[in-house]
């Protein structure tokens, strides 16, 4: 083992170890959410994951970004095969270990190169859409300093990684060619670049090493950047889709504890199940109705927050947002993630996801200590009450995030725990309670439409 | 229903009228139109009349789970008391709630929205055989209701029903799964909208009017519609007898009618429910 192999091994261990450490923190954050049984239906869930996550099904509602995204996504998957080779080469000091694959290796390398070039094109197009064309859904009050820097940063890192790949391949190819040596693999893009590379053998060897190190170290840095970034979706999209809801979108959950209460009210003989007990056998404090803070949401809602790539399709399709109201489903999801990291663990050492505090142009309202929760601390009732529950946000999310569930949970808290519904909704509630209809009509008038029907028909006959 | 039960009879279907169908003057016309269709095809139906009460949908969407479950249990008790198996309703909110949320509370019924029910009648050749009648060639656009479409994946039934009218059907830019809400769902019907630039129903009505007027290029500017290049531009055509916005939900009916009034287009654009269109085409208008 050379010193280079040992250094590589150390770098790799630190890189992957640090990622595992960050991933554990995020897992712990997600698990502060309420328990929800998502087991079973494995076949259906796998099929959904295959279609929506692997197959990018929901991306194809918009063809231009879908094709660009597909290039980067497939590029990512295929180029990662080369990363396996790089790691093996790095540890064992081999060179192009996978070359034993023969013709398959040729195809693999050629595919890598073509995809690598396409990724650069796609990334430039993405950058242009974001910074020149300024596609509207990439802006909005919640897209403050960090989310915007983050989005561009990923694009720059991708370019650096691809350039490193081409530097490595081209210098390797030229080094072999100059000495009339056989170079394993087939390199359609690098062959075109040979001319712009120097002819000094030592320099070429140095460039090959530099490209190799830049690529693998870049990947390790990228890997550790992910947990602090919207780009974490490249990992979280898969579990998020797997654990997404299988029921019709219009079906909202029924709160079980309320079911027991209502049943007990209607039937005195109804046995309310014993309250849950803690591991030591003592009764647990009753949970609140609805959600005030992140731990009141289900863990799947928190998983949603870490899967969001801030693409804004939800907000762009939200009727409230379209008509200028404060609600932005993306903000609800981003707030949830930021609140988790503010209250519990932040990945890495810095806390970039708490975008609200120090970013430019926003004077943060000082929040009282007892109001420092997800609801009121980050999400205002005005946002929540603007929701028409139309499911447009749910429909439009490419990775099956459900902002509506979180919105309803927070509405439940406002109504059931704080009685803080807008006045007119309280009027509606009391109408239902008293008259059995949301409007102030007497139940005895419920059949009047039929009187008019017969009256009209009688008139038609006599006329 | 009580009368029928007293005679020891069971209806084929229970027609769930809904609060809007029972109290809203505009939607009462839809209720009557649907009843005329039921009478016309001779199906044995019943309504709960005064025993019906709100499904609890607006309470649930507004976060009042307790009130929702009280309503739900009460309705389930009534329905089970009459051993109801099959329910048809003209309200997508009632439809969604009874179909999707009542089973977990013990209420299991076959629930059908009237658009699907009308489609079945058409398929069976019981209605719609007469053709479009007065609607032949008129321009109609269908406004998808969120609680029918996205919530329950019913997009084609209402369109199939409209297809029997032999009319000039046009689609709005935002339709089917991408349809825009009328603005009344989620208990918005009962409150003022939060401050914004525009009411949702105005946005949607404008979109419907653009479409009916054949003014598709203007839609490219519509907020939230990206990459605006889908579909050919329909040529402007005179709507001598008036164009129609077809709806299949009482909330959409109110919101779209208000929108048309707001735009002062009542003279040439009307809002009709599917049941009214079919009843008219069948000559069932009393």
pLDDT digits (tens, 9 = 90+) for B30-69: 999 999 999 999 999 999 999 999 999 999 999 999 999 9
Are A304 and A240 in contact by the 8 Å Cβ rule? The answer is yes
ipTM value: 0.91
Q: What residues 343-382 of chain A have any CB closer than 8 A to a CB of chain B?
A: 382
- Of all helices (H) and strands (E), which one includes residue B24? none
pLDDT surpasses 80 at A363: no
Burial string for B21-52 (b: 16+ CB within 10 Å, else e) reads bbbbeebbbbbbbbbbbbebeebebbbbbebb
Task: Work out the number of other CB atoms within 10 angstroms of the CB of residue B153.
Answer: 13
Is the CB of residue B221 less than 8 Å away from at least one CB of chain A?
no
**Residue numbers in B near A248 (CB within 8 A):** 96, 99-100, 151-153
Task: Work out the number of other CB atoms within 10 angstroms of the CB of residue B283.
Answer: 10
d(CA A374, CA A382): 14
Task: Work out the number of other CB atoms within 10 angstroms of the CB of residue A112.
Answer: 23
Q: Which residue has the higher pLDDT, A145 or B200?
A: B200
Cross-chain Cβ contact A424/B226 below 8 Å = no
pLDDT surpasses 50 at A366: no
d(CA A16, CA A225): 12
Is the CB of residue A391 less than 8 Å away from at least one CB of chain B?
yes
Condensed to tens digits (0 to 9), the pLDDT of residues A29-52 reads 999 999 999 999 999 999 999 999
Pick from B186, B203, B275 the residue to mutate for testing the A interface (most A CBs within 10 Å). B186
Q: How confident is the model at residue A353 (pLDDT cuts 50, 70, 90)?
A: low
Q: What is the mean pLDDT of residues A329-353?
A: 84
**Residue numbers in A near B150 (CB within 8 A):** 249-250, 390-392, 394-395
Enter the DSSP assignment of A244.
S
Q: Which of A303, A293, A299 is nearest to A397 (CA)?
A: A303
Q: How confident is the model at residue A304 (pLDDT cuts 50, 70, 90)?
A: very high
| Encoded tokens for B163 | 């297809």
What size, in residues, is chain A? 463
pLDDT surpasses 80 at A183: yes
Condensed to tens digits (0 to 9), the pLDDT of residues A258-284 reads 999 899 988 888 888 877 777 777 777
Query: According to the model, what pLDDT value does residue A358 have?
Result: 43
d(CA A79, CA A109): 9
d(CA B164, CA A337): 50
Query: According to the model, what pLDDT value does residue B137 have?
Result: 86
DSSP of A57-118, one letter per residue? GGGGGSHHHHHHHHHHHHHHHHHHHHHHHHHHHHHH--SSGGGGGTHHHHHHHHHHHHHHHH
Q: What is the mean pLDDT of residues A322-335?
A: 96
Cross-chain Cβ contact A262/B70 below 8 Å = yes
% of chain A residues with pLDDT over 70: 92
Pick from A261, A287, A390 the residue to mutate for testing the B interface (most B CBs within 10 Å). A390
Q: What is the mean pLDDT of residues A411-418?
A: 96
Are A394 and A315 in contact by the 8 Å Cβ rule? The answer is no
**Residue numbers in B near A392 (CB within 8 A):** 146, 150, 178, 180-181
% of chain B residues with pLDDT over 90: 78
The closest CB to that of B224, out of A289, A316, A421, belongs to A316
Q: What is the CA radius of gyration of chain B?
A: 19
Are B34 and B279 in contact by the 8 Å Cβ rule? The answer is yes
Taking the whole predicted model, whether its pTM rises above 0.90 is answered as: yes
Q: What is the 3-state secondary structure (H, E, C) of A371-414?
A: HCCHHHHHECHHHHHCCCCCCHHHHHCCCCCCHHHHHHHHHHHH
Query: According to the model, what pLDDT value does residue A461 have?
Result: 53
Condensed to tens digits (0 to 9), the pLDDT of residues A201-252 reads 999 999 999 999 999 999 999 999 999 999 999 999 999 999 999 999 999 9
Cross-chain Cβ contact A449/B96 below 8 Å = no
Closest residue in chain B to residue A453, using alpha carbons only: B32
Using alpha carbons only, give the angle B157, B230, B196 rounded to the nearest 5 degrees.
Answer: 80
Is the CB of residue B191 less than 8 Å away from at least one CB of chain A?
yes
| Encoded tokens for A323 | 């008509």
d(CA A203, CA A199): 8
| Encoded tokens for A424 | 């007119």
d(CA B37, CA B15): 12
Is the CB of residue A397 less than 8 Å away from at least one CB of chain B?
no
| Encoded tokens for A274 | 């014993």
Average pLDDT, chain A: 90
Query: According to the model, what pLDDT value does residue A381 have?
Result: 96
Residues of chain B with pLDDT under 70: 1, 129-132, 215-241, 286
d(CA B211, CA B174): 10
Q: How confident is the model at residue A460 (pLDDT cuts 50, 70, 90)?
A: low
Query: According to the model, what pLDDT value does residue A362 have?
Result: 41
The set of residues, in sequence order, having a beta carbon less than 8 Å from that of B119 and lying 6+ positions away, is: B157, B158, B160, B161
Q: Which of A130, A207, A223, A135 is nearest to A170 (CA)?
A: A207
Residue carrying the six token digits 């008139």 = A459
Are A294 and A340 in contact by the 8 Å Cβ rule? The answer is yes
Cross-chain Cβ contact A254/B69 below 8 Å = yes
The set of residues, in sequence order, having a beta carbon less than 8 Å from that of B185 and lying 6+ positions away, is: A388, A389, A390, B61, B93, B146, B147, B251
Q: What is the mean pLDDT of residues A346-373?
A: 54
Are A188 and A113 in contact by the 8 Å Cβ rule? The answer is yes
Condensed to tens digits (0 to 9), the pLDDT of residues A118-129 reads 999 999 999 999
């Amino acid at each position: 083992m050379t010193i280079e192999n040992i250094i590589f091994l150390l770098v790799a261990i630190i890189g992957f170890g640090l990622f595992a450490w960050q991933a554990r923190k995020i897992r712990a954050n997600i698990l502060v959410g309420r328990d929800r049984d998502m087991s079973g239906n494995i076949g259906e869930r796998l099929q959904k994951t295959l279609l929506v996550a692997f197959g990018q099904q929901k991306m194809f509602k918009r063809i231009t970004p879908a094709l660009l995204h597909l290039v980067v996504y497939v590029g990512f998957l295929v180029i990662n095969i080369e990363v396996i080779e790089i790691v093996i080469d790095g540890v064992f000091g081999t060179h192009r270990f996978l070359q034993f694959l023969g013709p398959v290796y040729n195809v693999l390398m050629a595919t890598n190169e073509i995809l690598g070039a396409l990724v650069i094109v796609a990334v430039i197009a993405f950058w242009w859409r974001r910074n020149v064309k300024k596609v509207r859904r990439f802006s909005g009050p919640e897209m403050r300093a960090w989310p915007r820097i983050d989005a561009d940063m990923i694009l720059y890192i991708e370019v650096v990684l691809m350039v490193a790949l081409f530097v490595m391949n081209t210098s390797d190819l030229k080094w072999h060619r100059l000495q009339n040596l056989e170079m394993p693999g087939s390199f359609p893009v690098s062959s075109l670049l040979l001319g712009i590379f120097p002819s000094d053998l030592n320099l070429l060897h140095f460039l090959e090493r530099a490209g190799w190190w830049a690529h693998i170290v870049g990947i390790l840095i990228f890997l550790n950047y992910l947990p602090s970034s919207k780009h974490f979706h490249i990992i979280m999209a898969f579990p998020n889709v797997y654990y997404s809801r299988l029921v019709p979108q219009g079906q909202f959950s029924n709160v079980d504890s309320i079911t027991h209460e209502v049943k007990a009210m209607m039937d005195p003989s109804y046995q309310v199940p014993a309250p849950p007990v803690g591991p030591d056998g003592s009764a647990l404090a009753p949970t609140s109705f609805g959600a005030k803070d992140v731990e009141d949401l289900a863990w799947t809602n928190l998983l949603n927050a870490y899967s969001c790539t801030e693409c804004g399709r939800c907000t762009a399709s939200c009727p409230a947002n379209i008509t200028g109201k404060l609600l932005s489903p993306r903000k609800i999801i981003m707030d949830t993630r930021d609140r988790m990291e503010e209250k519990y663990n932040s990945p890495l050492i810095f806390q970039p996801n708490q975008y609200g505090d120090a970013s430019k142009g926003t004077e943060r309202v000082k929040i009282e200590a007892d109001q420092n929760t997800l609801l009121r601390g980050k999400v205002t009732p005005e946002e929540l009450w603007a929701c028409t529950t139309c499911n447009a946000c749910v429909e439009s999310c490419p990775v099956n995030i459900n902002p509506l569930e979180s919105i309803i949970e927070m509405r439940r808290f406002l109504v059931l725990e704080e009685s803080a519904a807008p006045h007119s909704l309280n009027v509606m509630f009391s109408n239902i309670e008293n008259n059995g209809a949301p409007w102030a009509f007497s139940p005895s008038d419920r059949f009047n439409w039929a009187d008019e029907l017969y009256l009209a028909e009688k008139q038609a006959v006599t006329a | 229903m009580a009368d029928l039960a007293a005679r020891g009879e069971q209806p084929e279907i229970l027609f769930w009228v809904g609060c809007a169908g029972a109290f809203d003057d505009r939607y009462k016309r839809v209720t009557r139109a649907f009843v005329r269709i039921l009478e016309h095809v001779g199906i044995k139906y019943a309504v709960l009349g005064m025993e019906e009460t709100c499904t609890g949908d607006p309470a649930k969407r507004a976060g009042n789970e307790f009130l929702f479950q009280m309503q739900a249990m009460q309705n389930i008790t009534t329905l089970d008391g009459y051993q109801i198996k099959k329910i048809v309703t003209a309200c997508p909110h009632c439809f969604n709630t009874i179909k999707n949320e009542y089973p977990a509370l013990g209420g299991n019924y076959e629930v059908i929205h009237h658009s699907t029910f009308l489609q079945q009648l058409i398929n069976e050749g019981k209605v719609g055989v007469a053709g479009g009648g007065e609607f032949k060639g008129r321009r109609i656009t269908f406004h998808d209701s969120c609680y029918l479409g996205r919530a329950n994946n019913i997009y084609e039934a209402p369109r199939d029903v409209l297809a029997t009218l032999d009319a000039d059907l046009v689609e709005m830019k935002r339709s089917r799964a991408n349809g825009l809400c009328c603005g009344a769902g989620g208990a918005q019907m009962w409150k003022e909208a939060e401050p914004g630039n525009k009411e949702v129903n105005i946005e949607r009505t404008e979109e419907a009017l653009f479409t009916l007027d054949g003014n598709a290029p203007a839609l490219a500017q519509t907020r939230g519609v990206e990459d605006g290049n889908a579909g050919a531009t329909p040529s402007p055509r005179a709507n001598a007898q008036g164009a129609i916005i077809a709806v299949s939900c009482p909330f959409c009916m109110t919101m779209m009618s208000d929108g048309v009034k707001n735009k002062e287009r009542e003279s040439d654009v009307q809002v009709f429910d599917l049941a009214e269109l079919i009843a008219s085409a069948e000559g069932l208008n009393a």
